[in-house]
């Protein structure tokens, strides 16, 4: 069943904007995506370098916060209805999917979307384990162990 949005409904969510790439906005798209992918593997709190023009530079954790806000608003406004999120880049949706499943955000690209791809949000069948995780760091604070 396709939900037809009524005219009095809000169609715009700034929470679904493309991930802010900061200074990487000046690079070719493929170069910027490669740099972000490499940084994301290091740490979910990794941010692209800050730009000089005020362009946002967001970590995967920042994107999770935005997507939680989008879900909260959507759940309130459209409770009980099917909803389609459309995002201008894959990161918003792949980060959301990783967070919902409780997957380490450094691995969110496992859930990357191809342009125009539509798929349901998968829900976890297991309880989320929120206990802190740790790993050894031979050279603090330069821990660069990629997620496994």
Task: Specify the residue for token string 């037809």.
Answer: 4
User: How distant, in Å, are the alpha carbons of 71, 73, 98 from that of 10?
Assistant: 14, 10, 26
Write out the chain's pLDDT in tens, 148 residues: 455 555 555 556 788 889 999 999 999 999 999 999 999 999 999 999 999 988 899 999 999 999 999 999 888 988 888 888 888 889 999 999 999 998 999 999 999 999 888 989 988 766 656 566 666 666 666 666 554 4
Give residue limits of the domains in the chain: 20-111
What pTM was estimated for this model as a whole?
A: 0.75
């Amino acid at each position: 069943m396709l939900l037809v949005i009524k005219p009095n409904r809000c169609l715009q969510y700034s929470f679904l904007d493309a991930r802010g790439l900061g200074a990487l906005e000046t690079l070719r798209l493929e170069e910027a995506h490669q740099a972000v992918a490499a940084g994301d593997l290091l740490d979910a709190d990794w941010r692209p370098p800050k730009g000089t023009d005020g362009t946002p530079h967001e970590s995967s954790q920042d994107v999770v916060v935005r997507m939680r806000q989008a879900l909260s608003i959507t759940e309130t406004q459209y409770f009980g209805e099917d909803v389609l999120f459309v995002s201008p880049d894959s990161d918003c949706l792949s980060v959301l999917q990783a967070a919902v499943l409780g997957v380490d955000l450094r691995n969110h690209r496992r859930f990357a979307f191809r342009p125009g791809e539509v798929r349901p949000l998968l829900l976890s069948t297991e309880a989320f384990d929120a206990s802190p995780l740790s790993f050894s760091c031979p050279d603090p604070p330069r821990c660069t162990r990629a997620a496994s």
